[in-house]
Amino acid sequence: MSISPQIFELIRQEVKRQQEGLVMIASENYASEDSLKAIGTPLSNKYSEGYPGKRFYTGNQYIDEIENLAKFEALKMFNLSDQEWTANVQPHSGSSANIAVYMGMLNPGDKLMGSDLSQGGHLTHGSPVNFSGKLFNFAHYGVNETTHLLDYDKIEEIAIAEQPKMIVCGATAYPRTIDFARFRAIADKVGALLLADIAHIIGLIIAGVHPSPFPYADFVTSTTHKTLSGPRSGFVISKIQYAPQIDKAIFPGMQGGPLDNIIAAKAICFSEAQSEEFKAKQIQTVKNCQALAKKLMDEGIKVITNGTDNHLLLIDCRSVNLLGKEGANLLAEANIYTNFNTVPYDPAKPFNPSGMRMGTAALSTRGMKEEELEMIGGWIAQILKNPEDKNLREEIKTKVKELTLGFPIYENFQI
């Protein structure tokens, strides 16, 4: 007997959880209904190894059109010319997009430089437990010990001492603006290629609320499911002279057939990201995050860098005598979902660090504004300051459910 009914019931339960909770995990969002629709289509059946016009299988006439549209929209959303830039939309994830750039442009053992995982970088920026740190020789940079801001003079010093062939900038848990022009100047000083990994802030960049990595970076990688509200996936944009190396690294270098259903969903989210509505949402996302940061600070909770310029913030749970995992678990009891995270120069271990990360992308997709975020910030503070009070968490869970009723998700989506 098929377990489909059981699986579909679990899917319905998960959608209900997403409806009745506050998704404040900074890397999560609600994909648009159209991109979800494209994911669940028979495009998933097709094999199309190769690239448009150069496939290893027949029957790809429609798939070619879809992939070409996705590539076209990827450049259009950044106003890039196809005479200077090319997109490869085949990477299965943000991590795969980064592997593609490293493997396409460098040899195993080559020296790179990336942000330390414990100071805002991503696993794929040279963490020793990741392929990147195992295959390549990464030097790391971080943030200033007192300001917790990227210290560009120090980064330049490290680059001069280490002479990396590539510098990776971009982060997973950095609440402030990244100066891509300065990274370019540092890369030029040592003759390094520059990769900007904008997995988190891509939506903000498209909306103009964070400076763009174009034209500074040689390669820009991103996910499509964080601030972009598309399918779970990734892509690379590179300067046109490097495109053949990037294409070869992805296929046949590291992948077989592309996920054509996901590529269709990427085309959709790239075009949705060019709407005025999307831009307004990104602007609101940042305002919401700043309202949340202010409320938490007013409540005496330490916010790293005393605020945020983007869609996420980091709190230091030691300011309420907790560790991050405890804090995140307490909030989850009230249907408020966040994640534990290291804070810069964290003395605690990564699996039980001192901080928590929160973001406002998903709540902003639901239409919440400053007023709701201030209220939510108040609930978060109450819970973290009263870890013994289980009743309080129950009461807040009821209020959370009531609040979410006014912000429905996937109203037209049948499962």
Q: So which residues are the catalytic ones?
A: 47, 49, 197, 223, 226, 232
| Residue 246 main-chain phi, psi, to 5 deg | -70, -45
How far is the C-alpha of 371 from the C-alpha of 357, rounded, in Å? 20
Largest CA distance in the chain: 64
Whose Cβ is closer to ligand PLP: residue 226's or residue 294's?
Answer: 226
Minimum separation from the CB atom of position 210 to ligand PLP (A): 13
Whose Cβ is closer to ligand PLP: residue 29's or residue 172's?
Answer: 172
- Return the number of other C-beta atoms located less than 10 Å from residue 414's C-beta: 4
Nearest residue to 234 (alpha-carbon basis) of 254, 215, 214: 254
* Residues 79-98, mask of contacts with ligand PLP (x by CB under 6 A): --------------xxx---
Minimum separation from the CB atom of position 58 to ligand PLP (A): 31
Nearest residue to 130 (alpha-carbon basis) of 145, 142, 148, 116: 116
Residue 27 as a binder of ligand PLP (CB under 6 A): the answer is: yes
Binding to ligand PLP, residues 209-228 (CB under 6 A): 223
* Residue of the chain from 46, 71, 200, 295 that contacts ligand PLP (CB under 6 A): 200
Whose Cβ is closer to ligand PLP: residue 143's or residue 384's?
Answer: 143
Minimum separation from the CB atom of position 95 to ligand PLP (A): 3
Whose Cβ is closer to ligand PLP: residue 28's or residue 326's?
Answer: 28
Minimum separation from the CB atom of position 333 to ligand PLP (A): 26
How far is the C-alpha of 328 from the C-alpha of 348, rounded, in Å? 16
Helices (H), 114-195: 131-135, 152-162, 180-190
Spatial neighbors of 253 by CB under 8 A, at least 6 apart, are: 100, 103, 104
Minimum separation from the CB atom of position 23 to ligand PLP (A): 15
| Residue 219 main-chain phi, psi, to 5 deg | -140, 140
How far is the C-alpha of 181 from the C-alpha of 276, rounded, in Å? 27
Whose Cβ is closer to ligand PLP: residue 171's or residue 292's?
Answer: 171
* Residue of the chain from 122, 148, 184, 281 that contacts ligand PLP (CB under 6 A): 122
Minimum separation from the CB atom of position 4 to ligand PLP (A): 27
Between helix 370-385 and helix 390-405 the angle, nearest 10°, is 170
Binding to ligand PLP, residues 223-252 (CB under 6 A): 223, 234
Residue 197 as a binder of ligand PLP (CB under 6 A): the answer is: yes
Interface with ligand PLP: number of residues (CB under 6 A): 14
Whose Cβ is closer to ligand PLP: residue 113's or residue 171's?
Answer: 171
Nearest residue to 384 (alpha-carbon basis) of 348, 345, 358: 358
Residue 341 as a binder of ligand PLP (CB under 6 A): the answer is: no
Binding to ligand PLP, residues 167-196 (CB under 6 A): 170-172
Provide the residue type at 56 as one letter. F
Binding to ligand PLP, residues 132-171 (CB under 6 A): 170-171
Minimum separation from the CB atom of position 266 to ligand PLP (A): 12
Whose Cβ is closer to ligand PLP: residue 223's or residue 271's?
Answer: 223
Spatial neighbors of 281 by CB under 8 A, at least 6 apart, are: 203, 207, 364, 365
Whose Cβ is closer to ligand PLP: residue 94's or residue 377's?
Answer: 94
Q: Select from 76-84, 197-205, 257-265, 371-379 the region that touches ligand PLP (CB under 6 A).
A: 197-205
Q: How far does the chain reach from its first CA to its final CA, in angstroms?
A: 20
* Residue of the chain from 124, 290, 308, 339 that contacts ligand PLP (CB under 6 A): 124
Spatial neighbors of 330 by CB under 8 A, at least 6 apart, are: 322, 383, 384, 387, 393
How far is the C-alpha of 7 from the C-alpha of 143, rounded, in Å? 44
* Residue of the chain from 75, 199, 297, 381 that contacts ligand PLP (CB under 6 A): 199
Q: Are 39 and 265 in contact (CB under 8 A)?
A: yes
Provide the residue type at 233 as one letter. S
Q: Are 246 and 88 in contact (CB under 8 A)?
A: yes
Give residue number: closest CB to ligand PLP. 94
Residues of the shown chain interacting with ligand PLP in the complex, contacts defined by CB under 6 A = 27, 93-95, 122, 124, 170-172, 197, 199-200, 223, 234
